[in-house]
A and B are shown apart, each in its own frame.
Chain A
Amino acid sequence: MHLPDGFISPPVAVVTGLASVAAVAVSLTRCRQAYGIRQAPVLGLTTAFVFAAQMVNFPVAGGTSGHLLGGTLAAVVLKSPWAGTLCITTVLIIQAVLFADGGITALGANALNMAVIGVWVGWGLTQVLHRILGGAKARLPLAAGIAAGISVVAAAIACAIELVLSGTAPANLVLPAMSGIHVLIGIGEGLITGGILTYLQKTQPDLLLKEQPQLEKLVNSSVEHFPNRRRFIAASFCMARWPRKSGRRIRLYSTSGKRTHNSTHTICGLRAPRVGKNRYEHHWYCRQRSFICNGIWNCAISKTEKCISFQLPCGCAYL
């Protein structure tokens, strides 16, 4: 589906380019809130992962082969279609610039097909299907798998339309050819996406779960109890179910109760892999203005799975 240079006309390249630039600009603005310094590795890694996954081809039919597009997968794993759009756009830039896969002038068209249409159709359908299927967590991979398959066909149809509008190929030739082969690729995409999400859900459930609103309230109420800690109070919350293999995600909050990812004062993050019975190693980093402190902190966890508080050198308190 990667359109090469010279296969689309200048007007189509310009229009699709402008549409993609607008989509990426909006995505960057939206992601700036959600993806601060803490989430940057996840976004970068997912991009690298989708890039690598796109290199693995599977046989389709008649000697042709297909590969994962990964738009829906990226959006579901990152829990944001905006981030998914950025992720796939980045993959396409790397492919075009560093691997000559997909044209430079066709970058806008490719981004529109795969990073915008592919991701948003996949994400939208995942949400709709997940609700139709009952909204249970276990149904998410199934919903995402079906949505991923359909999103590939939608992206392929968009690609075919661009080729028709460019005058490169007649509609009666390119539309059936593109959609036909991509139905088969979509089946592969759906199976892989559903399978990966099932695996991730079983082995790393915190990766796909959203924070629960009632826990957010708990955090905010706990913050209100400690308004006068030095500069900031960092409150943690326990996940409803402790993940089996990995640590839990802990957010740090400022006294106002707002998330501090992009606060002008502090950006904090914690990750807690288990290092022993009731002991979790806390990899943390915290930025306060120009001051960055990093390190590993051992924290004891009580039987009720509540963390014992400690103070970070930068002034953040962990309750």
Chain B
Amino acid sequence: MHKFSITLRLRLSLVIVIGTALLKVGTWVNLSVYGAIALLWALWLRVRFRPLVQLLGAELLLLTLMALPLGWERASFLLARSLVCLLTMNSFLLSLPPHSRTLALKGLPLPAPLQEILLLATQYLEILLSEITQMQRAAKLRGLGGSAGWLRYISAATIGSLYIRTLHRAERVYSAMVVRGYQGKLPVDTKLTPKETIALTATALVATAVTLSSY
């Protein structure tokens, strides 16, 4: 679908987000440049409009509650800046194919042991979610529900049993992974091609220039 690899898309998104977040407050021209870049980025990634708006709406609502007490002028800039960051990251996330989150995390410049925990955690999330689904189904079949449903989900027995069930399953999964030769690293190549490196460097330079010019 996309010409760029997941690693490059993630790194480009990070460059745009970091550049935007570091802009000086009140520099609307620079922010509009980043806004245009973020919009182009979303268009280029062919992100579906509806889920993107839903995500942005929910997140902006929370941010508005946080920012409005700071005064209209300041809050509007903070919110616009956050909107550009959220637009960039959410565009990247929505462009990810299913089950490729692990691949995206592999592209992060992190130390190997931390990456191993990241990879295992994302793998176990799938297990955890399937266990939650099973427990939800079991609860429904037993007629447990109603308006205080949240109480059941934060009850110690539910969370504790979820942990133990998932731990047992996770150990079996991990044993299977080790049997298949897993040694803490996924056999995925996350190195950038020369063209991709040039694209990333160029974007980083542009972002640095735009951000520095705001000061």
* A complexed with B: yes
CA distance A98 to B78 in the complex (A): 22
**Residue from A57, A77, A103, A273 within 8 A of B150 (CB atoms):** A57
CB neighbours (8 Å) of B127 from chain A are 48
Q: Given contacts A41-B171, A98-B93, A271-B171, are A285 and B178 in contact (CB under 8 A)?
A: yes
Tell me the interface secondary structure of chain A in the complex. helix
Interface 1/0 per residue, A93-116 and B, CB below 8 Å: 110011111011110000000000
CB-based contact A28/B113 at 8 Å: yes
CB neighbours (8 Å) of B119 from chain A are 44
CB-based contact A203/B160 at 8 Å: yes
**25 A–B pairs (Cβ distance < 8 Å), ordered by A:** A4-B63, A5-B81, A5-B82, A5-B85, A7-B82, A28-B113, A41-B171, A42-B167, A44-B117, A47-B124, A52-B128, A52-B129, A56-B150, A97-B105, A99-B93, A100-B55, A100-B86, A105-B22, A192-B154, A199-B156, A203-B160, A207-B167, A283-B171, A285-B178, A292-B183
CB neighbours (8 Å) of B160 from chain A are 195-196, 199-200, 203
Q: Given contacts A97-B105, A203-B160, A271-B171, are A47 and B153 in contact (CB under 8 A)?
A: no
CB neighbours (8 Å) of B69 from chain A are 169, 173
Q: Chain B interface (Cβ within 8 Å of chain A)? A: 10, 14, 17-18, 20-23, 55, 59, 63, 66-67, 69-70, 78, 81-82, 85-86, 89-90, 93, 101, 104-105, 108, 110-111, 113-114, 116-125, 127-129, 132, 150, 153-157, 159-164, 166-168, 170-175, 178-179, 181, 183-184
A135 within 8 A of B: no
CA distance A24 to B69 in the complex (A): 34
Most chain B CB inside 10 Å of its own CB: which residue of A10, A25, A59, A196: A196
CB-based contact A285/B175 at 8 Å: yes
Q: Within the complex, what minimum Cβ distance (angstroms) separates A166 from chain B?
A: 10
For B69, give the chain A residue with the smallest CB separation. A173
CB-based contact B164/A28 at 8 Å: no
- Give the total number of A-B pairs whose CB atoms are below 8 A apart: 202
CB-based contact A43/B117 at 8 Å: yes
A166-209, CB < 8 A from B = 168-169, 173, 188, 192, 194-196, 198-200, 203-204, 207
Tell me the interface secondary structure of chain B in the complex. helix
Q: Given contacts A6-B81, A52-B132, are A58 and B150 in contact (CB under 8 A)?
A: yes
Q: Given contacts A105-B17, A199-B156, are A49 and B163 in contact (CB under 8 A)?
A: yes
Interface residues on A, range: 35 or more
CB-based contact A292/B128 at 8 Å: no
Q: Given contacts A41-B120, A97-B108, are A6 and B178 in contact (CB under 8 A)?
A: no
CB neighbours (8 Å) of A25 from chain B are 111
Most chain B CB inside 10 Å of its own CB: which residue of A4, A51, A101, A198: A4
Q: Within the complex, what minimum Cβ distance (angstroms) separates B202 from chain A?
A: 20
A32 within 8 A of B: yes
CA distance A57 to B10 in the complex (A): 29
A255 within 8 A of B: no
